Amino acid sequence: MIRHLFPLPDPNAPPRLVRVARVPPAGEKPAMREPGERQPWIVRPEGVRTLWWLFGAILVLNVVAELFVHLHPHFELEGAFAFHAWFGFLGCVAMVVFARLLAMFLKRKDTFYDVVD
Amino acid sequence: MSWTSLPPALVLMLAGLLLPFLPRAARQAVSLIAPLGALGLVWAVPDGVSLSVPYLGYQLDLVEADALSRLFGTIFSLMAFVGCIFALPQRNVLELAAALIYAGGAVGVAFAGDLVSVFIFWELMAVASTLVVWAPGTPEARQAGLRYAFMHFLGGAVLMAGIAGHVAATGSTEFAAMSADTPATILILVGFLINAGAPPVSAWLPDAYPKASWSGTVFLSAFTTKTAVYVLLRGFPGTEILIWVGLYMVFYGIVYALLENNMRRILAYSIINQVGFMVVGIGIGTEVALNGAAAHAFAHIIYKALLLMSAGSVLYMTGLRKCTDLGGLFRTMPITTVCGTIGALAISAFPWTSGFVTKSMITQGAADQHLLWAWMLLQAASAGVFLHAGIKFPWFVFFQRDSGLRPKDPPWPMRAAMIVFAILCVGIGLMPGPLYAILPYPVDYEAYTGAHVITQLQLLLFSGLAFFMLLPLMKRTETITLDLDWFWRVGAPRLGEILRESVGGQWTLLVAGFRRWIERVMAWTARTHSLQGALGRTWPISASAVMVALFLLVYLMLFYLWPA
């Protein structure tokens, strides 16, 4: 469950290799990954796990900091504890869910208009 | 007339016209010098009308300056300058020439003192920007450019109708604040809003802009929608309907950008989102909100160009534009990644970036007026901006699952342009004073209070948490999302086809029958009225005399016989 809510990169996933078919405007195709390339720390599972903890700590500090400043709410609702935190979070969830619902009706292949996108 | 009354727009337009006749090195030099010259003139032009010419019985105030026009003139010239640095590796002459004329049109609108001049520069912009879309010459750019041109000429026609009605009703061509309560002023408002990307025709923007070249989109993002913001600021401050139009644009941009896969179209949707914030500010109409809208337009041009430059750099180096093809580029494109991320933070109004000190004035305006609903929606939308542009764009382009691509950072002019704008994003965020000083109204606003920084960080960081927790729902697919443009790209042609298949035959018969009837009338007329026809040929004088006598007789009889 926790793993699901705070995802880590899967070390067993096969590496992705995107093919560049056309020559880009720069005039030459970009280099590709060397076979034995070492992954930087921030994309390795232990790095991502650390980043999650770090991020969590910042979030907690951010909410706690509210107690030490003088808030001057314009509306009654805004005075609720950590209003901006939960309002922002729930607002985003609502927007993503709405977008997914809309996509159920309006999603099409990107070749729909017979145009290379 | 001194040199300071030279229209700043003229410098850019002449440079654009000259460009195709120059060798490449001179072209690059002119494309950098002309915007700087325009920028100098923007600040040399004195307040009030400094150039006025008679035209068709009207007095055209081609250059009329005040704080608002100088603010927009400044950012348009600056944008043209840095955009031309970014475009130094661009070999397409048409695009650069058109971009300079396009920038000139935008500066021209900012300094136009009357509605007729506004219209002239407005249409020049439409033509020049269509050429920028067309410049790559690909079939999809040609088609999208044509749709773009249709939309803008439609907007121009609506605007012209409104201006004509307004001038007929008031007798004045002056461009001052209006209220949208007569058919004429409503038409003007609609004409302005079409260029701002307002519903129901918002789709023209994400349709056309991403089809331009890697550098063309940078120019396109800056001028058309922001001149629309400028004319709305001057013409319709405090028009309440704009609050709701703006809120629609804000959420439309977020929802469509969340579903989008093409990196530059994500940014195009977010232009509509950001212009929505400005339109809301104009609708609120208090001094702090209008200042906020103007300042936000200034900051927006910089960070949006920066974002599109980083996307353009990726496109330039890899030729790829879909999120599903990209990822992991931070390893070998550090400068592009850092600059793109700074732009993404600025668009999200992260503290210590330009968006933070400008957008908050608009939300402050809503709070001051006790517009609870508008304020709550604006706050939710601010979180949504971080979601769709602040994190989504850098995450899917530079991070996410490694694509295996290892492109280098782009050539130095492109890096330099990005660095300049990144520095400006942070600089304005840290020191908003100079920007506040050139806003149209005196600023009495402090962005950096403890409460504001902490609440804004809460809003943004928790929407970041939402993004990463909902990542499975955000997984990109090779899809587009249908928009209202379906109606004119598929619906209308299909309707035409259906009509042709069903009642087309009868219609043809009807038209043919009508044409035969007209031909019979023509033949009859030719028989009776030609030189040999009864009514056309020469008659002897005696016959005429008899005829007249007969008519008189009939008249006399009628006179006596007609019941009184």
**Is there a contact between B479 and A70 if contact means CB atoms under 8 Å apart?**
no
Residue B352: which region, alpha, beta or left (left: phi > 0; alpha: psi -120 to 50)?
left
Which position has the higher pLDDT, A36 or B323?
B323
- B533-550 average pLDDT score: 87
Q: Is the pLDDT of residue B354 over 60?
A: yes
Measured between beta carbons, which residues in chain B are less than 8 angstroms from residue A35?
Answer: none
Distance (Å, rounded) from C-alpha B56 to C-alpha B49? Answer: 19
Q: Which of B214, B372, B471 sits opposite A75 (nearest CB)?
A: B372
Q: DSSP E strands: which ranges in chain A?
A: 31-32, 107-109
CA-based nearest residue in chain B for residue A114 = B140
Q: Which of A16, A84, A96 sits opposite B455 (nearest CB)?
A: A84
**Is there a contact between A95 and B254 if contact means CB atoms under 8 Å apart?**
yes
Residue B296: which region, alpha, beta or left (left: phi > 0; alpha: psi -120 to 50)?
alpha
CA-based nearest residue in chain A for residue B458 = A85
CA-based nearest residue in chain B for residue A53 = B465
**Is there a contact between A110 and B450 if contact means CB atoms under 8 Å apart?**
no
> Which is nearest to A75 in space by CA: B248, B379, B456?
B379
- B516-545 average pLDDT score: 88
Q: Is the pLDDT of residue A2 over 80?
A: no
Measured between beta carbons, which residues in chain A are less than 8 angstroms from residue B320?
Answer: 18, 20, 24
- B348-367 average pLDDT score: 94
Instruction: Determine the distance in angstroms separating the CA of A41 from the nearest CA of chain B, rounded to an integer.
Output: 11
Query: What pLDDT is stored for residue A71 in this prediction?
Result: 81
**Is there a contact between A91 and B372 if contact means CB atoms under 8 Å apart?**
no
Q: What are the residues whose beta carbons fall under 8 Å from the beta carbon of A36, sequence distance 6 or more?
A: none
Q: What are the residues whose beta carbons fall under 8 Å from the beta carbon of B458, sequence distance 6 or more?
A: A62, A63, A66, A82, A84, A85, A88
Q: Is the pLDDT of residue B242 over 90?
A: yes
Indicate the average pLDDT of chain B.
94
Query: What pLDDT is stored for residue A116 in this prediction?
Result: 59
Q: Which of B320, B327, B383 sits opposite A92 (nearest CB)?
A: B383
* pLDDT tens string B84-93: 999 999 999 9
Q: Is the pLDDT of residue B358 over 60?
A: yes
**Is there a contact between A74 and B370 if contact means CB atoms under 8 Å apart?**
yes
End-to-end CA distance of chain B: 77
**Is there a contact between B319 and A22 if contact means CB atoms under 8 Å apart?**
yes
Q: Which of A7, A97, A115 sits opposite B140 (nearest CB)?
A: A115
**Is there a contact between A103 and B481 if contact means CB atoms under 8 Å apart?**
yes
Q: What are B124's two structure tokens?
A: 């020049």
CB B226 within 8 A of CB A74: no
**Is there a contact between B319 and A58 if contact means CB atoms under 8 Å apart?**
no
* pLDDT tens string A24-51: 999 999 999 888 888 888 888 889 999 9
Mapped onto helix, strand or coil, the DSSP state of residue B150 is helix
**Is there a contact between A96 and B454 if contact means CB atoms under 8 Å apart?**
no
Q: Is the pLDDT of residue A6 over 90?
A: no
Q: Is the pLDDT of residue A114 over 80?
A: no
* pLDDT tens string B271-312: 999 999 999 999 999 999 999 999 999 999 999 999 999 999
The residue among A6, A110, A112, A114 with the most chain B CBs within 10 A of its CB, best to mutate, is A110
DSSP secondary structure string, B157-170? Answer: HHHHHHHHHHHHHH
Distance (Å, rounded) from C-alpha A19 to C-alpha B405? Answer: 8
CA-based nearest residue in chain A for residue B325 = A18
Q: Is the pLDDT of residue B76 over 70?
A: yes
How many Cβ atoms from other residues are within 10 Å of residue B376's Cβ? Answer: 16
Distance (Å, rounded) from C-alpha B8 to C-alpha B42? Answer: 6
**Is there a contact between A25 and B251 if contact means CB atoms under 8 Å apart?**
no
Q: What are B93's two structure tokens?
A: 């002459």
**Is there a contact between A106 and B470 if contact means CB atoms under 8 Å apart?**
no
Query: What pLDDT is stored for residue B556 in this prediction?
Result: 92
Amino acid at B461: L
Q: Which of B402, B461, B466 sits opposite A93 (nearest CB)?
A: B466
* pLDDT tens string B176-234: 999 999 999 999 999 999 999 999 999 999 999 999 999 999 999 999 999 999 999 99
Distance (Å, rounded) from C-alpha A117 to C-alpha B261? Answer: 10
**Is there a contact between A107 and B481 if contact means CB atoms under 8 Å apart?**
yes
* pLDDT tens string B14-44: 999 999 999 999 999 999 999 999 999 999 9
Mapped onto helix, strand or coil, the DSSP state of residue B324 is helix
Query: What pLDDT is stored for residue B517 in this prediction?
Result: 97
Mapped onto helix, strand or coil, the DSSP state of residue B49 is strand
Query: What pLDDT is stored for residue B216 in this prediction?
Result: 96
Q: Which of A24, A69, A95 sits opposite B255 (nearest CB)?
A: A95
Query: What pLDDT is stored for residue A21 in this prediction?
Result: 87
Query: What pLDDT is stored for residue B1 in this prediction?
Result: 53
Query: What pLDDT is stored for residue B474 in this prediction?
Result: 85
Confidence of residue B2 (pLDDT cuts 50, 70, 90): low
Residue located via tokens 């001038």: B167
Q: Is the pLDDT of residue B98 over 60?
A: yes
pLDDT-above-70 percentage for chain B: 99
pLDDT-above-90 percentage for chain B: 88
Report A:29-68 residues touching B (Cβ under 8 A): 30-33, 39-40, 43, 55, 58-59, 62-63, 65-66, 68
Strand partners, B64: B49
Q: What are B249's two structure tokens?
A: 């644009």
**Is there a contact between A65 and B454 if contact means CB atoms under 8 Å apart?**
yes
Q: Is the pLDDT of residue B560 over 80?
A: yes
Q: Which of A70, A92, A116 sits opposite B140 (nearest CB)?
A: A116
CA-based nearest residue in chain B for residue A21 = B319
Q: Is the pLDDT of residue A117 over 60?
A: no
Measured between beta carbons, which residues in chain B are less than 8 angstroms from residue A87?
Answer: 376, 379-380, 383, 459
**Is there a contact between A25 and B479 if contact means CB atoms under 8 Å apart?**
no
Indicate the pairing of strand B48-55 with strand B405-406.
unpaired
Find out whether the peptide bond into B200 is cis, omega within 30 degrees of 0.
yes
Distance (Å, rounded) from C-alpha B549 to C-alpha A84? Answer: 100
